[in-house]
Amino acid sequence: MTEIALIRHGSTAWNKEKRSQGQTDNPLDQEGREQAVLLAARLAEEQWDAIYASDLQRASETARIIGERLGIQEIHLDPRLREMGGGQVEGTTEEERIAKWGSDWSALDLGKELPDAGAARGTEILEEIIRQHPNARVIVVSHGAVLRNTLRALVPEQDISVKLGNTSITRMVHRDQTWQCELYNCSTHLEQGEGNL
């Protein structure tokens, strides 16, 4: 059995402005770093064997903060864990999109990466991880949309209608050739730090 903790990166300035980030390489903001510290403290209560992350700053920095707390020096950066490409939508807010393309903007082909494409690359890297780390416990730091689409592909019965929160944990278990989701979008570690954020 291999267990994987899927983690969405900490918050960024664009998250707060509700701007589509896609593959734009934004750093964490101060709150995002504090969220990552709280997440790392939670993960440190268990034993982990490896950390993989998107090569975009907001995910790789989240992963480095976790790795420092866990004593895992090597972070395996992989571009397949990047967020879904947003095309012309990247950098815009909902209001800006409506002003530019109308209220049906999401139905237009604006160069966005298709959900199945994101799911395919997410599935590919997770399948590779379980081959390279059999019976291990691995942390994967990535992005909301690509993680949800990957989960949709691997565990079709899982309800993914709720978007993943910053630094949320989704636990996946692979046993007997099948994937199961044992925990979805859990951010209880942030509640403990609310007085400090």
pLDDT at 1 over 60: yes
- Give just the sign of the alpha carbon dihedral 136, 140, 42, 71: positive
Residue 92 lies in a domain: no
Does residue 107 form part of some domain? no
Instruction: With respect to residue 108, please indicate whether it lies within any of the assigned structural domains.
Output: no
The verdict on residue 105 lying in a domain is: no
- From CA 98, how far away is CA 106, in angstroms rounded? 9
Task: Return the pLDDT at 170.
Answer: 98
Q: Which domain holds residue 30?
A: 2-87+115-192
CATH number at residue 6: 3.40.50.1240
pLDDT tens string 77-120: 999 999 999 999 999 999 999 999 999 999 999 999 999 999 99
* Domain count along the chain: 1
pLDDT digits (tens, 9 = 90+) for 141-162: 999 999 999 999 999 999 999 9
Which residues are catalytic, by number? 9, 83
DSSP classification of residue 88: G
The average confidence (pLDDT) of the chain is: 96
Do the domain assignments include residue 71? yes
Contact 122, 183 (CB under 8 A): no
Give the per-residue pLDDT at 193.
60
